[in-house]
Structures are given as C-alpha cells and as structure tokens.
Structure 1
Amino acid sequence: MADDKVIIGKIGAPHGVRGDVRVIPLTDFPDRFHQLKTVYTDDGAKLTVESARFHKQFVLVKFRGIDTMNDAELLRGKLIKVRREDAVVLPEGHYYFFDIIGLSVYTETGEHLGEITDILQTGSNDVYVAERKNEKPLLIPALKEVVLQIDIPGKKMIVKLQEEWDDHED
C-alpha cells in the first residue's frame, strides 16, 4: 500500500466561529478521537488535535492553528487519517478490510487462486472476493472452516475450497 495511513473520518462543516470542525467518524472505534494527538489529511497535511468531543452524530475537533471559521472551511471535505501503527489494535483473528484486500489466495496444496479485491458484508459472515485470470471471481466465505490461515506480513491467505470440504455435519 502506497499510503501507510488509515482513514478514520471526514471533515464536514465548521462548527462555531473558533475553528472547530465537525468530523463524520469513519471508524468502528469512534472513542479513539479522545486520544488523538496527530492526524493527517488526504492531501498529506499534518494536523495537531487540541480537543475532540462528541456532539450528535459528529465529533467536534479543534486543530492547532485552525482558529477561525474561514480556516475551518478550508478543511471541509478532507479525509482524516492516522498512521497504520496508530490504528486500534484488533483482537487476535480479527483484521481490517485494508489488511485483507490485496492478499494472494492459495489452497492448502499451494495452488494460487487469485487476489482479494473486495469484501462483501452479507450480515451473517463476510465474503472475500478473489479475482482470477480469465475466470469469474471466486467468492470465499469468511469462516474458520474455509479460511485456514491469514498471513498479513506474508500477504497471503490459505483456504480450503468448498468442493474439498468433508461431507460431515457439525
């Protein structure tokens, strides 16, 4: 990934006249805004967080050096990001979508099946979409009996395909 940062919100309208902005949280962990010290905008600017508080569905954020409504207006529409290493640590066996997308998929025997290009959220379990050359995409249910191993540093996933499953009931 060229950008080592994770999107956590989108800046909306200014709030008040002292430079506060409304941020729409784009994270499963909105409480993280209370601990934020530094964020980055999608154009690479580094901003220091002075304060953050919740207001309705928004987080009101005050950035150092953004002291007027006009200053705040210049930030409208920008995505805010944190460094990958500052992302919330997930429990073992849980992964961010951006960690899964781009993984190479292999069978247990080492056959390359394709690359994960998308994740479908079905309600019961996620489904990984693996693009294959000259074939329709492979849909892989994100279940323990199907996805045997996820190796983020090695950028690969090992799966047991449905037709290889045993015919036993659990």
Structure 2
Amino acid sequence: MVTHECELKDLPDFIPYGKIVKAHGIKGEIKVAPYFSYPDDLQLHQEIALVDTEKNRCTLWPVIRSRFQGNNAILKLEGIETRNDAEECRGIELWIDKTLMPRPDDGEYYWHEIEGLMIETDDGIALGKVSDIFSSGAHEVWVVTGKGREYLIPAKKEFIVEKDDQQGKLILTLPPGLLEINES
C-alpha cells in the first residue's frame, strides 16, 4: 500500500470534495457524496486525501479508478481491498487538489472560491461574510452572516455583478424583497 500520513497544513491546495457515505460492492470501492452540484472529474486526480478534520490528520491515497453513479462518485483506492476496508472509511471526508479542477463557466464558482468572501449589494450595503454553503436541490444557497443577522441568498449567477478577489468580496444585485424575507 502506497499511502502516507500527513497534516492538513501540508496540503494547501487541497479542498473538501465530499463525504464517504458507504462501501460500494465487495471489492473495496467507496461511495462519496460530493459537496457541490457539479462535481469535478475525479479522473484527473491520481491521489486524494482522506481527512479526519477533528484530529487535523489526513492520509494520501493513490486513485486506481473513479466513476459516477447518479450524483455520487465511486472510487477504488490503492490499498482498500475489501468491503470491510471500505466500510472503515464511512463518514471520512475526501479532499482533492483544487489546482486540477477544471475552470467553471463564466459567472460560476466553486464553493471554496465563495466561502469567506464578504457580500455587498450593488447599492453599497455590506451584508456580511459567506459562512456556509448548502444545496437546496434547485441551486446552492449562500449563508451570509454579519451584524447579528443571517441571510440566505440563492447562488444564482444572474445576481453576481462583480467578484473582487483583491478585496475578497462579491457584489450582488438582489431581487426586491429578498433581504426583507431574511429579516423576518
């Protein structure tokens, strides 16, 4: 088995991809539920990290093969040979090298590019920082926290006016009434 232990600080280009939900089949494959709705092509990744975020520890694993089944990724990792081996991975996060991810279309961003950005409306109202992102089924939703409030903002590319990487902010044009709905 060609794996090696590491610490998260050793993987600055790796980001969370998804969580291992269960073993798949009897030959040691794992099923991963991706965190975002347009998952990366895992074929580009020769190595992934299985991460225990509570212990700040990780293990790098060579990828033998990967494929998709519905919305889930199925991976075969070198050294995970049996269903029991795969079951031991249940609940662990799978991280990937973000430098290998294909560039999304104009106006679309990966979660890791949005989380932590400040959100401002096009008329200059600072709402707060993107503290979390989740999928509602129809689209992603940004959880924006600031000034004792929390706003749920649909992640729609037509709302984005500008992404300012220098200032770490996203300027949005929001539909009338969206902020008021969040304040009740």
The TM tier, using the shorter chain, reads 0.5 to 0.7
Q: Structure 1 vs Structure 2: percent identity of aligned residues?
A: 27
Cα offset for 1:76?
2.9
Instruction: Give matches, 1:108-147, under 5 Å.
Output: 108=122, 112-119=126-133, 128-134=142-148, 136-138=149-151, 140=153, 142=155, 146-147=159-160
Q: How does 1:51-130 map to 2 (within 5 A)?
A: 51-53=65-67, 59-108=73-122, 112-119=126-133, 128-130=142-144
> 1:111: Cα distance to partner?
5.5
CA displacement, residues 37-83 of structure 1 (integer Å, 9 cap, x when unaligned): 11101231100011234567754432222234443333233221102
Residue of structure 1 in register with 2:164 after alignment: 151
- For 2:142 and 2:167, the matched residues in 1 are separated by 18
Q: Taking structure 1 as reference, are residues 52 and 143 closer, same or farther at Cα in structure 2, changes over 3 Å only?
A: closer
Letter in 2 for 1:73: E
Instruction: Give 2:45's aligned amino acid.
Output: L
Q: What residue in structure 2 maps to residue 10 of structure 1? A: 20
**Compared CA separation, residues 48 and 114, structure 1 to 2 (3 A):** same
1:93-136 CA-partner distances (Å, limit 9, x unpaired) = 101233222111235576643212345766777654432214x3
**Higher Cα Rg: structure 1 or 2?**
1
Instruction: State the distance in 2 between where 1:22 and 1:66 align.
Output: 9
SS in 1 for 2:108: coil
Q: Could you tell me which amino acid in structure 2 is paired with residue 24 of structure 1? A: V
Question: What residue in structure 1 maps to residue 43 of structure 2?
Answer: 34
1:34 is matched by which residue type in structure 2? Answer: Q
Q: What residue ranges of structure 2 are gaps of 5+ in the alignment? A: 1-8, 53-57, 177-184
Change (3 A) 1:126 1:70: closer
Structure 1 segments unaligned to the other structure (5+ residues): 164-170
Report if aligned partners of 1:8, 1:82 keep a CA contact under 8 Å in 2. Answer: no
- AA aligned to 2:119 is V
- Give the 3-state SS of the residue equivalent to 2:61 in structure 1: strand
Instruction: Measure the CA separation in 1 of the matches of 2:136 and 2:46.
Output: 35
Residues 106 and 80 of structure 1: is their aligned pair in 2 closer, same or farther, counting only changes over 3 Å? same
Q: Find the aligned partners of 1:93 and 1:144 in 2 and give their Cα distance.
A: 5
The letter of the residue matching 1:52 is S
Counterpart amino acid of 2:66? Answer: A
